Structure 1
Amino acid sequence: MAKSIVCLQPLTKEQVEAIRKAAPGYTFVQCDAKQPDLEALAEAEIVISWAKGISGLLLREGTPLRWVQAWSAGVDKLPLDRLEQRGIVLTNASGVHAEPISQVIFGYMLMFVRNLHTAIRNQDRRIWNSDETETELTGKTVVIAGTGEIGAATARIAKAFGMRTIGVRRIDDPLPGFDAMYTTSRLKDAVAEGDFVINTLPLTGETRGLFDASVFSSFKEGSYYINIGRGGTTDTEALIEALENGRLRGAGLDVFEAEPLPEDHPLWDMKQVIITPHVAGLTDHYSNRLVGIFTENMKSYLAHGAPTVNVVDYLRQY
């Protein structure tokens, strides 16, 4: 049986050629995730991306599947337990999103400090008005929960704006770009210092519902919350309460517990909230960056039998 790679995402001719060049001796099949080529998947040693309804086929005993390259950084929607049981290596798209998402984060932040979100609403109604509360990012403190590629890029840009940066992660070892570091167990202490709190966390057993009422009650009064990680890390009702009671001055939200956000959801009517439809990571550079990760991993896979970049730790779930 010929060794094969199956990709469930659209790629350009140049990207396909890059994969073929990096994987001599492998056949390459490209198909649509909505209508996957089941025959090709059944024979695949490597699969790029995932799709609904293919778990039973790919994860049954005896299949040649050895490696899955996820199309996203978050892997919470994949059958992690079954992948681990089969001994299949899983790599994610960490690093692909750092540039677009960090830019979205600063888009939110700049809109809030310059009241641009209010100006846009006033423009729709032809109202010339300012409440003269405009400020700037200079001198503000940003707390970044999650110090991976996105968090690191955000911290780097924040320093260029003259901001103080605080990181939150599992260990409190210092990292470049961060003025201070807190462990996740000290999240409440960290958010109490932030003018802006940025949530870049993946959804895992440890992070689900992490931002709850007790954490929001610890936020600095009049601060802002931005979530571009996963909606399930935040207790939405607690977030709404913090917005309504004034603990939070505003929120920039790209991800939600329920997506799409229901039309009757109260967040839609909150003028201090900026909502984007889970698009922070989208960019026309996405495929190129992911193919770059895959082809680099293919070198180590061919040389040593396993990829080395962005390998998911099944215990941590990222």
Structure 2
Amino acid sequence: MSGKRPVVIDLRFARESVVSALRSAFPDRPVIDMGDAANAERDLTDAEFAVVWKPDPALFRRATGLRAIFSGGAGVDHILSAYELPDLPIVRFVDRSLTDRMSEWVIWQCLHHLRNGIAYASQQRERVWHEIAEQPEARDVTVGVMGLGVLGADAVRKLKVMGFDVIGWSRRAKSIEGLETFDAANLEAFLGRTDILVGLLPLTDDTRGIYDRALYSRLRRTGPLGGPIFLNAGRGGSQNETELIACLADGTLKAASLDVFEKEPLDPESPLWSMPNVIVTPHAAAASDVRALFRHVEAQIARLESGLPLEFVVDRVSGY
């Protein structure tokens, strides 16, 4: 093995997936796996890079020689909001597999609501054979995507392939070929056109609690689905869950598909579990493939060592 300094791994993922992926990862440098009890008290001052997802709070105090921190997911709020961090580059996980998985979840949920999936699932449980007469086409439905980063831009393209009318919103103006986009100054117009709202925003001071009653009430109410529908696979902290539940109960929202929550795991007592117009998935829309994550980190380290800048570095001011 070369004289390269170690990479430290502290990932709150399924243990077996991390162990399996590490068998073929980082062949040219030492690895310190913090999931291995033997490393609990190990000196980390020689570690050069850290790959983390909700790591031990002491990690950054112990690993004082780091050159960069790699997030184990597309989001970085789990690091920015919970730790005193050294002044180092923080790199988001961007990978085809993660992007594809997110788009698959978004399309699945949009089609589920388009094709009366909740109603037909209920009929199946009750053994009712009844075709719902009103069946709009995808082209009749406007999907508004909030968040036009890597994940949002890919979801937009694939939703358009499925035939949906798609519009996009981001806080700062963005230009995406073939897509009508809106910025912060035009949120009202964006919401007024939207039948299915897709939340793919990062969690920042500006987006915390952005999905609330005031926002839901401005969605289009005269569309072909009989009321607005909310999908959130971005960050749980962006939704006001109390107001979300109330809006689902009183008809402000017709339905919702939720993959992220204010507190995870979702409390067993949460009404969201049993609401008939809600689909819950356990933060599984775009689960990180650990092998792909390590390939991404290896590629970024190689760039750094060859004199090239890191990609996907987080702007700490904007939070993404």
TM-score range relative to shorter protein: 0.7 to 0.9
**Unaligned segments of structure 1, at least 5 residues:** none
Give secondary structure in 1 for the equivalent of 2:74.
coil
Kindly report which structure 2 residues correspond to 1:128-139, keeping only aligned pairs within 5 A, or say none: 128-139=129-140
Kindly report which structure 2 residues correspond to 1:264-279, keeping only aligned pairs within 5 A, or say none: 264-279=269-284
Give the C-alpha shift of residue 317 in structure 1: 1.4
Native 8 Å contact 1:240 1:267 kept in 2:
yes
1:238 aligns with 2:243: yes
1:19 aligns with 2:26: yes
CA displacement 1:181-227 (0-9 Å, x = unmatched):
11134323211101111000111111001112211110111121100
What is the aligned counterpart of 1:46 among 28, 45, 49? 49
Q: 1:88 to 1:149 in 2, by over 3 A?
A: same
Letter in 2 for 1:119: Y
RMSD: 2.5
> Could you say which residue in structure 2 is the equivalent of 1:308?
310
In structure 1, C-alpha distance between the alignment counterparts of 2:213 and 2:142, rounded to whole Å: 22
**Unaligned segments of structure 2, at least 5 residues:** 12-16, 222-226
Letter in 1 for 2:87: G
Native 8 Å contact 1:293 1:309 kept in 2:
no
In structure 2, C-alpha distance between the alignment counterparts of 1:93 and 1:15, rounded to whole Å: 17
Bigger shift: residues 38-47 or 214-223 = 38-47
Give the C-alpha shift of residue 121 in structure 1: 2.8
In structure 2, C-alpha distance between the alignment counterparts of 1:205 and 1:270, rounded to whole Å: 30
CA displacement 1:231-288 (0-9 Å, x = unmatched):
11111222223323323221111111122222222222321111111111126xx123
Native 8 Å contact 1:141 1:164 kept in 2:
yes
Letter in 2 for 1:287: V
Letter in 1 for 2:306: A
Native 8 Å contact 2:21 2:291 kept in 1:
no
In structure 1, C-alpha distance between the alignment counterparts of 2:128 and 2:158, rounded to whole Å: 33
Give the C-alpha shift of residue 33 in structure 1: 7.2
In structure 2, C-alpha distance between the alignment counterparts of 1:268 and 1:255, rounded to whole Å: 13
Bigger shift: residues 264-273 or 5-14 = 5-14
Q: 1:40 to 1:115 in 2, by over 3 A?
A: farther
In structure 2, C-alpha distance between the alignment counterparts of 1:32 and 1:4, rounded to whole Å: 15
Native 8 Å contact 2:94 2:296 kept in 1:
no
What is the aligned counterpart of 2:8 among 6, 10, 19? 6
Bigger shift: residues 184-193 or 227-236 = 184-193
Give the C-alpha shift of residue 18 in structure 1: 4.8
Give secondary structure in 2 for the equivalent of 1:151.
helix
> Could you say which residue in structure 2 is the equivalent of 1:153?
154
> Could you say which residue in structure 1 is the equivalent of 2:58?
56
In structure 1, C-alpha distance between the alignment counterparts of 2:242 and 2:128, rounded to whole Å: 32
TM-score with structure 2 length normalisation?
0.86
Give secondary structure in 2 for the equivalent of 1:77.
helix
Give the C-alpha shift of residue 64 in structure 1: 1.1
Letter in 1 for 2:26: I
In structure 1, C-alpha distance between the alignment counterparts of 2:36 and 2:131, rounded to whole Å: 48
1:127 aligns with 2:128: yes
> Could you say which residue in structure 1 is the equivalent of 2:297?
294
Letter in 1 for 2:215: V
In structure 1, C-alpha distance between the alignment counterparts of 2:58 and 2:19, rounded to whole Å: 29
Give secondary structure in 2 for the equivalent of 1:138.
helix
CA displacement 1:30-51 (0-9 Å, x = unmatched):
3417885441534311111245
Give secondary structure in 1 for the equivalent of 2:106.
helix
> Could you say which residue in structure 1 is the equivalent of 2:183?
183
1:248 aligns with 2:249: no
Native 8 Å contact 2:141 2:164 kept in 1:
yes
Give secondary structure in 2 for the equivalent of 1:49.
strand
Give secondary structure in 2 for the equivalent of 1:144.
strand
> Could you say which residue in structure 1 is the equivalent of 2:102?
101
Q: 1:224 to 1:79 in 2, by over 3 A?
A: closer
In structure 2, C-alpha distance between the alignment counterparts of 1:121 and 1:278, rounded to whole Å: 24
Give secondary structure in 2 for the equivalent of 1:73.
coil
Kindly report which structure 2 residues correspond to 1:193-232, keeping only aligned pairs within 5 A, or say none: 193-221=193-221, 222-232=227-237
> Could you say which residue in structure 2 is the equivalent of 1:192?
192
Native 8 Å contact 1:66 1:87 kept in 2:
no
Q: 1:50 to 1:98 in 2, by over 3 A?
A: closer
Give secondary structure in 1 for the equivalent of 2:87.
coil
Q: 1:118 to 1:42 in 2, by over 3 A?
A: farther
> Could you say which residue in structure 2 is the equivalent of 1:92?
92
Bigger shift: residues 268-277 or 219-228 = 268-277
Percent of residue pairs bearing the same amino acid type = 27
Give secondary structure in 1 for the equivalent of 2:254.
strand
Give the C-alpha shift of residue 148 in structure 1: 1.1
Q: 1:104 to 1:237 in 2, by over 3 A?
A: same
